[in-house]
Amino acid sequence: MIKQAYTVKGMTCNGCRAEVEKELGDIDGVANVIVSLEDEEAILTMVDHISIKTLQDTLPEKYSLSSKKVSKAISEKQESSSGVFVNSESAAQVVEESKLQQLKPLLLILFYITVASVLLNYKEASWQSGMLDFMGLFYIVFSFFKMLDLKGFSTSFSMYDPLSRTIPAYGKVYPFIETVLGFMFLMRFQVEIALIATIVILGVTTVGVTKTLLSKKEIQCACLGTALKLPMTEATFIENAIMIIMAIIMLIRLV
């Protein structure tokens, strides 16, 4: 494997970052892509060397890509034990944050949603009502973050969701679908329909998440939009699985 850093000019928002990440990630021979909007940088892990021209031709015209320029002190390559030359600065940036640190926003949000659901129902001790509130709050909160950057979300979402990849418009309306489902659960309106929709929608997404995890590609998870940089990890699979299991349990009890 070869890991190389490139400077990418022309990115102005998280939507641009997601687009560059998607286009570069679709190139044959690219195993992993990490794009930073702030640093105007793309770090590619490639099976074999890919020319800059090939990379540039893949990107829309508004983006320009060039070899990463660093100072002499840090531009020297260090040969790894596998014989691959890696830019020491880029490698340090990749491993700077652990997965747990990156997932902290997601874990905190799930914690607060759980606490809120318990507090809303602790007097009646109704776990069924608590599950509906959890699912409703889950959708409302997660759709809020997606709507902060709809274009960026739809681009990132299409990188792993099978339906969004096939029908791009689906990614653009997905946050609104989540909002509607959230209100349906919280208002106890047509709950059975909302449960079936949850199983189908999250089921499709989970298939895409599973394929991404098995391929070992490191891409950004779009569950909280592009405002928070979350890596695609097993936690993404688990959160979807929890919602699907809850929906199945509730549907069985209601039918």
pLDDT tens readout for residues 190-227? 999 999 999 999 999 999 999 888 887 767 788 888 77
Q: What is the pLDDT of residue 72?
A: 35
- At 99, the pLDDT band (50, 70, 90 cuts) reads low
More confident residue, 70 or 65: 65
| φ, ψ of residue 7 in degrees (nearest 5) | -90, 130
Residue 98 has pLDDT above 80, yes or no: no
Residue range(s) defining the domain that contains residue 56: 2-94
Q: What's the domain count of the chain?
A: 2
Confidence of residue 26 (pLDDT cuts 50, 70, 90): confident
Do 113 and 138 touch, CB atoms closer than 8 A? yes
Domain match, 197 and 237 both: yes
Domain boundary among 94, 120, 152: 94
Mean pLDDT of 221-234: 78
Check: pTM over 0.95? Answer yes or no: no
Distances 168 to 5, 74, 171, 172 between C-alpha atoms, Å: 29, 41, 6, 7
d(Cα 192, Cα 248) in Å, to the nearest integer? 10
Residue that finishes a domain, picked among 94, 118, 136: 94
Domain stop point among 94, 116, 147: 94
| Span of 144-158, 177-191, 197-211 with lowest mean pLDDT | 144-158
Q: Indicate whether 80 and 123 sit together in one domain.
A: no
Is the domain of 30 the same as that of 103? Answer: no
142 and 103 in one domain?
Answer: yes
Q: Does one domain contain both 83 and 29? A: yes
The H or E element that residue 108 is part of is helix 99-121
- In degrees rounded to 5, what are phi and psi of residue 172? -75, -30
Does 213 lie in the same domain as 186? yes
Residue 97 has what pLDDT? 53
72 exposure class (CB count in 10 Å sphere: 0-12, 13-18, 19+): exposed
Tell me how far apart the alpha carbons of residues 241 and 157 are, in angstroms, rounded to a whole number. 18
* Span 141-148, average pLDDT: 94
Q: Do 90 and 145 belong to one domain?
A: no
- Provide the CB-side half-sphere exposure for 234 (13 A, CA): 2
Greatest C-alpha distance within the chain: 68
